[in-house]
Amino acid sequence: MSEATSRSQSPATDLIGSYFLHLWRQNSKTLGLKPEELEEEEELPTALDTVKSSGGFSFVGPDKLSVSYPNVNLHGHDVGVVQANRPAPSKRFLYYFEIRVKNAGAKGQVAIGFTTSAFTLKRQPGWEANSCGYHGDDGLLYHGHGTGEAFGPTYTTGDTVGGGINYATQEFFFTKNGVLVGSVYKDFKGSVFPTVSVHSQSEEYVSSRNIFLSLLLSLPCLLCVHATPPLLWMAVNFGKEEFVFDLEAYEAEERAKQQMKIDNISISQDASHGIVRSYLQHYGYEETLNLFDIAGQSTIPPISLVPENGSKEEDVMYALNQRNILRQLIRYGEIDDTFSKLHEWYPQIVQDDTSTVCILLHCQKFIELVRVGKLEEAILYGRNDFAKFKGRSELDDIVKDCAALLAYEQPLKSSFGYLLQESQRELVADAVNAMILSTNPNVKDATFCTHSDLERLIRQISACVLEKRSLNGDHGEAFLLSKILKSYKKV
Amino acid sequence: MATSKKLITKQEWEKKLADVKVRKEEMNKLVMNFLVTEGYVEAAEKFRLESGTEHIDLATITDRMAVKKAVQSGNVVDAIEKVNDLNPEILDTNPQLFFHLQQQRLIELIRDGKVEEALEFAQEELAPRGEENQSFLEELERTVALLAFEDVTNCPVRDLLDISQRLKTASEVNAAILTSQSHEKDPKLPSLLKMLIWAQNQLDEKATYPRINDLSTAALEDPAV
């Protein structure tokens, strides 16, 4: 007993304590941890880049969403290329934008594609290494050199053309007038900018230009400041307006393809059953476990309950009934009873009143007093007990959150309302549960006390997906359990 | 093995695992989704009380499980009645399911040795449907073939009498009811496990790292170098 009752906290106790404090901060809306969904958000391209353009060979309109080719009598190489103001966001499933060719001119050339930041903005997208472009005049796909490959139809005045990246398959894809044209493997790394180009080299162009000019000159229009009126021009849509292409349907289709690959993997039929079972054992949901086992035996065919690993079964069943009783007490807000049961059963856990698990319980006691409106008692309790934590300044933020509940007439509606949610009780119950598991002399690894098998599996999925993404130039979606829970697969 | 593969030690990997955010509420929801979808009514209700996790109306599970049980134990007439009580549109809009239930009914009649009744039922109820649909007709012929053998335990279509045929029909009804209730027919947990295997396979192409090879222990293996 001497080791377990020693005053200094064991590394396992520290680990369990910091795990649950971290969870607390994660739940808090005030402690400054961003929800994971927000961490994934990236800035989107919203306009064309007017600073870094191929000076003189293209003209970006004042809305920064249209491009024209103002120059005449230019050399054939002088292509007007414009990139978006930001690279395509990549921590996602796919990205897409569209252009509408307003006027392709007589022999105009327009192209849509993707280029890197190092791209020379006087060359057609696709002609240079690390770029890709679908060209309107010949319908060819250019992918890293000046020779195109047969790809799709040509496009011209009146057509809407789209370019996208599917990060799951690492492919560029292009559309014309709402129809998918095709896709090509993205064989270079790094982030890419949505890019458009305009080019014209026609002599007839001059005369038509003059007609256009004379028309325009009669209008006191702002555009005229820029000397040359647009003749060959296109509008770019970065998503501000609805796309012609049904992107949602495309995404659903592509996701279904990926899902099919996942669905085709075979796993043992009883694997899920076993994981649910060990989850119920881990957290001490004993009554659910009993009903689950009874139901499992009466299914056709019955599910085998023989654990594959006997000693592990023993460890997850450790103190199951006591863990269950304590969980229920905390869930009903009976913190005094929780303390007295702990003193009776596991004195080593509550011996040090400034251990993290004790602090969690004291905070919960305070919260329960606020919940039932016993504010004076709460204040007295807080003055008496929060002082004990003075030695642990790293807990100041948590104590402050609790104390802040007193400031509100309706604390539940305040930004500290999360403390009054069921999830906070659950967190404290989970911490006590983990501490009891750690008293099992067979347990060597503290993460066994904090993590259920299910949690281990979820962490592994997320880490694999993130690691693959980081080895893949930050391309692709993260794994978010919340998204999986929300998704509803149509049958 | 390609030399360009990144090697991640167990220590480095554990750090990455620790950085993952996992919410207890979400795991509870995942477990609840499993209990509800797989029809563990009592356990789901108890889990709501023990963990505070909400779920859909459990009455719908009870009804659904009653239908499933009826098919599993061979009471097809009872099952059809129960499905229609639940929502008559389920069978109206799902001719294949209705045919499979009727086929199961025929199988049960044959199993019980009610030869005359079986023949009558096949001719009056099933044959007209077979005329509408070639695959139904083939299925019907296969089923009626059971009557042609004295020793059905040794005939080429004996699989129809197998318990697995009942389970197949039962799970088809189960899925149809779930769909009609706008509920997914499969629990999310098995596909999450598949996703784990998939994600690990994907990362295998780029890196060597500690894998989880045994889902039942969730133990982290040392990276194989």
Instruction: Give me the domain span that covers residue B195.
Output: 190-225
Is the predicted ipTM greater than 0.90, yes or no?
no
Q: Estimate the crossing angle of helix A320-331 against helix A422-438, to 10 degrees.
A: 160
* Tens digits of residue pLDDT in A375-395: 999 999 988 888 887 778 888
**A355 alpha-carbon distance from chain centroid:** 35
Tens digits of residue pLDDT in A9-60: 677 888 899 899 988 888 786 665 566 666 678 899 998 887 765 555 677 7
Residues B198 and B128 in one domain: no
Identify from A19, A25, A288, A315 which residue to disrupt to test chain B contact, counting B C-beta atoms within 10 A and taking the largest count: A288
B176 with B196, same domain: the answer is no
Q: What is the distance between the alpha carbons of residues B57 and B48, in angstroms, rounded to a whole number?
A: 12
Chain B's closest residue to A467, CA to CA, is B203
Mutant choice from A38, A460, A470 vs B, greatest count of B C-beta within 10 A: A460
Does residue B111 sit within a domain? yes
For residue B156, being part of any structural domain is answered with yes
Q: Are B24 and A461 an interchain contact pair (Cβ–Cβ within 8 Å)?
A: no
Residue of A nearest to B218 (CA): A453
Same domain, B213 and B113: no
| pLDDT value of residue B75 | 93
B127 within domain boundaries:
yes
For B160, phi then psi, to 5°, come to: -65, -30
Distance in angstroms (rounded) separating the CA atoms of residues B101 and B91: 10
Q: How far is A68 from chain B (nearest CA, A)?
A: 44
Residues B89 and B154 both lie in one domain: yes
- Could you tell me if B176 and B198 lie in one domain? no
- Please indicate, yes or no, whether residues B177 and B158 belong to a single structural domain of this protein: yes
Beta-carbon pairs below 8 A across chains A and B? 191
* Minimum-distance CB partner of A288 among B50, B187, B207: B50
For chain A, list the domains and their CATH numbers: 11-36+270-470 (no CATH), 59-255 (2.60.120.920)
Residues B121 and B210 in one domain: no
Q: How many CA atoms lie within 13 A of A410 on its CB side?
A: 1
Partner-chain contact A308 B194, CB within 8 Å: no
Residue from the list B6, B21, B195 with its beta carbon closest to the beta carbon of A471? B6
The helix/strand/coil state of A68 is: strand
| In the block, residue with structure tokens 């090879």 | B213
Helices A320-331 and A335-345: angle between axes, nearest 10 degrees = 160
- Average pLDDT of chain B? 88
The answer as to whether B196 is a domain residue is yes
B118-127, long-range: CB < 8 A, 24+ apart: B118/B147, B119/B147, B126/B99, B126/B102
Q: 3-state DSSP call for residue A431?
A: helix
CA distance B183 to B172: 14
Residues B116 and B218 in one domain: no
Residues of A in contact with B190 (CB under 8 A): 267, 271-272
> Within 13 A of B45's CA, how many CA atoms are on the CB side?
11
Nearest to B22 among A459, A468, A471 (CB): A459
Cβ contact B45:B58 at 8 Å: yes
Average pLDDT of the residues of chain A: 83
Nearest Cα to Cα of residue A119 among A84, A171, A72, A149: A84
Of B34, B163, B195, the CB nearest to A272: B34
Please choose, from the candidates A148, A155, A122, the residue with its C-alpha nearest in 3D space to the C-alpha of residue A133. A148
pLDDT digits (tens, 9 = 90+) for A348-357: 999 988 889 9
Contact B35 A276 (CB under 8 A): yes
Cβ–Cβ gap B24/A423 under 8 Å: yes
Tell me the mean pLDDT in the region A330-343.
96
Q: What is the 3-state secondary structure (H, E, C) of B36-60?
A: HHCCCHHHHHHHHHHHCCCCCCHHH
pLDDT at A7 exceeding the cut of 60: no
Residue A296: strand, helix, or coil: helix
Q: Are residues B137 and B198 in the same domain?
A: no
Show Cβ contacts of residue A466 under 8 Å, excluding neighbours closer than 6 positions. Answer: A478, A479, B16, B20
Beta bridge partners of B6: B207
Distance from CA of B40 to the nearest CA of A (A): 7
Residue in chain B closest to A284 (alpha carbons) equals B50
Does the beta-carbon distance from A464 to B17 stay under 8 Å? no
What percent of chain A is modeled with pLDDT above 90?
48
pLDDT at residue B201 tops 50? yes
User: How many separate domains does chain B show?
Assistant: 2
Shared domain for B159 and B201, answered yes or no, is no
Q: Do B194 and A265 touch (CB under 8 A)?
A: yes
Q: What pLDDT was estimated at residue A396?
A: 85
H-assigned helices in chain B: 10-19, 24-37, 41-51, 58-72, 76-86, 89-92, 95-111, 115-121, 127-132, 134-144, 163-180, 188-204
Q: Are residues B104 and B150 in the same domain?
A: yes
Determine the pLDDT at residue A228.
45
What's the CA gap between A311 and A292, in Å, rounded?
21
How far are the Cα atoms of A371, A407, A426 from residue A397, in angstroms, in the given order?
A: 20, 16, 20
Give the Cβ contact number of residue A26 at 10 Å: 17
A163 contact partners, CB below 8 Å, separation of at least 6: A96, A97, A98, A112, A113, A114, A134, A172, A173, A174, A175, A194
A165 vs A298: which has the higher pLDDT = A165
Q: How many percent of chain B have pLDDT more than 90? A: 44
Same domain, B196 and B156: no
Per-residue pLDDT of A256-297, as tens digits, reads 999 999 999 998 878 899 999 999 999 999 999 999 999 887
User: B6-7 and B207-208: which strand pairing?
Assistant: parallel
- Whether residue B168 is contained in a domain is answered as yes
Q: Which of B7, B8, B16, B173 to mutate to test the interface with A (most CBs of A within 10 A)?
A: B16
Q: Cβ B184–A280 below 8 Å, yes or no?
A: no
Please tell me the distance from the alpha carbon of residue A366 to that of residue A384, in angstroms, as a whole number.
Answer: 11
For A331-337, the CB contacts below 8 A with 24+ separation are: A331/A422, A331/A425, A331/A426, A331/A429, A331/B50, A331/B52, A333/A364, A333/A368, A333/A371, A333/A425, A335/A361, A335/A364, A335/A365, A335/A368, A336/A365
Residue in this structure with the two tokens 């167990």, named with its chain if needed: B10
Look at A4-8, A151-155, A454-458, B58-62 and tell me which has the smallest mean pLDDT.
A4-8
